[in-house]
């Protein structure tokens, strides 16, 4: 669904984490610093080990999307202090051998794999920008797979079926649904009389969604519905048709979706031509026959695939699935 604003925040947060990992990794290298062709002058030295101007600018760009010249003197100083602090802490970790521990080594390796994957992604997509036709086709695909109706409902959530059945009996005798919800529901929506607002059924657990779409406005479930959260009595209040967001409004998100699909095709091709043997269920060497299989290797040993592209969503926000 097009597209969650939290995606951009998440991407920025991930970028900062990668930069921190790179700074830590650089600190654990020999005193000559990062093993690149970087010949830029240092902006600081830490126990004789330089922090180069280019690395500092890279760090600034990653956390602010600006160059250091666009920052105030105080901001530049703070960024340098943070980079120095990261270097010192990482050097302490190296002195204690923490960089040799399995967990730390795997985290650094996972960071390396993801950074390299992003570099390949950027290079691959440089000359493969989605065409207008590809974007339009993706828009139609996403619109076709997006629910076209929203539901406005309320519910009462209780812990046991017998108690839910007693509440159904009270509703049948004419008690008000919202009043009962405020009195008896254990869901946070009780303060609103059980009102969940507007949402599409796919936002709810299947049992809840299935019971909901079988109702007509004004009806409630006469048989309590069980989910992992407890027992629900659901009342449908009203429905409305959804209008997909205009193409131009979601163009940027569509471009990301198409780019991710292109790169997925590229990485699938790499896997197709590679000699791959999956050993997750194969006993490790020295393991007795019939003994439980070894646990899978940590995820850091497998190159992570690009994040799944979001699906197109209608503009109106939906209420979260009811939770106990």
Q: By three-state DSSP, how is residue 196 classified? A: strand
pLDDT of residue 285: 61
| Residue 168 near residue 250 (C-beta atoms within 8 A) | no
pLDDT of residue 37: 57
Q: What sign results for the dihedral spanned by CA atoms 206, 210, 216, 222?
A: negative
pLDDT at residue 281 greater than cutoff 70: yes
| Residue 155 near residue 232 (C-beta atoms within 8 A) | yes
Q: What is the gyration radius of the CA atoms in the chain, in angstroms? A: 27
Minimum mean pLDDT range among 43-57, 94-108, 147-161: 94-108
pLDDT at residue 289 greater than cutoff 90: no
pLDDT of residue 206: 96
CA distance 211 to 233: 10
Helix (H) or strand (E) holding 59: helix 53-64
| Closest C-alpha to 267, from 111, 113, 120 | 120
What's the DSSP call for residue 36?
Answer: S
Residue with tokens 């079988």: 214
pLDDT of residue 283: 72
pLDDT at residue 307 greater than cutoff 60: no
pTM over 0.85: no
CA distance 51 to 3: 39
CA distance 245 to 131: 20
Minimum mean pLDDT range among 35-49, 167-181, 229-243: 35-49
pLDDT tens-digit map of 53-70: 999 999 999 999 999 999
pLDDT tens-digit map of 106-140: 999 999 999 999 999 999 999 999 999 999 999 99
For domain 149-241, the CATH architecture is Roll (3.10)
pLDDT at residue 14 greater than cutoff 60: no
pLDDT of residue 239: 97
CA distance 311 to 231: 31
pLDDT tens-digit map of 162-218: 999 999 999 999 999 999 999 999 999 999 999 999 999 989 999 999 999 999 999
Q: CB neighbours of 40 closer than 8 A, spacing ≥ 6?
A: 52, 53, 54, 55
In the Cβ-directed half-sphere of 250, how many Cα atoms lie within 13 Å?
24
Domain boundaries, the chain: 7-126, 149-241
302: pLDDT confidence band, cut at 50, 70 and 90?
very low
Helix (H) or strand (E) holding 187: none
């Amino acid at each position: 669904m097009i597209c969650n604003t939290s995606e951009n925040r998440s991407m920025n947060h991930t970028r900062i984490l990668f930069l921190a990992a790179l700074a830590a990794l650089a600190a654990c290298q020999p005193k000559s610093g990062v093993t690149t062709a970087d010949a830029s002058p240092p902006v600081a030295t830490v126990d004789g080990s330089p922090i180069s101007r280019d690395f500092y600018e890279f760090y600034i760009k990653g956390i602010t999307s600006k160059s250091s010249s666009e920052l105030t003197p105080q901001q530049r100083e703070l960024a340098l202090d943070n980079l120095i602090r990261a270097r010192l802490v990482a050097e302490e970790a190296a002195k204690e051998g923490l960089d040799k521990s399995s967990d730390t080594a795997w985290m650094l390796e996972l960071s390396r794999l993801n950074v390299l994957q992003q570099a390949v992604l950027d290079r691959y997509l440089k000359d493969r920008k989605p065409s207008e036709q590809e974007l339009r086709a993706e828009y139609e695909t996403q619109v076709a797979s997006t629910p076209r109706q929203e539901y406005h409902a309320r519910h009462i959530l209780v812990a046991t079926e017998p108690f839910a059945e007693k509440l159904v009996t009270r509703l049948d005798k004419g008690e008000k649904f919202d009043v009962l919800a405020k009195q008896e529901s254990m869901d946070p929506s009780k303060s609103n009389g059980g009102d969940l607002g507007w949402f599409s059924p796919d936002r709810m657990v299947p049992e809840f969604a299935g019971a909901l779409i079988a109702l007509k406005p004004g009806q409630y479930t006469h048989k309590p519905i069980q989910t992992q959260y407890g027992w629900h009595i659901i009342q449908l209040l009203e429905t409305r048709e959804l209008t997909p967001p205009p193409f131009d409004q979601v163009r940027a998100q569509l471009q990301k979706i198409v780019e991710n699909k292109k790169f997925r095709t590229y990485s699938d091709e790499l896997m197709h031509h590679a000699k791959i043997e999956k050993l997750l269920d194969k006993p490790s060497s020295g393991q007795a026959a019939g003994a439980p299989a070894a646990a899978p290797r940590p995820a850091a040993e497998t190159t992570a695939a690009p994040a799944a592209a979001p699906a197109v969503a209608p503009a109106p926000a939906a209420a979260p699935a009811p939770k106990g």
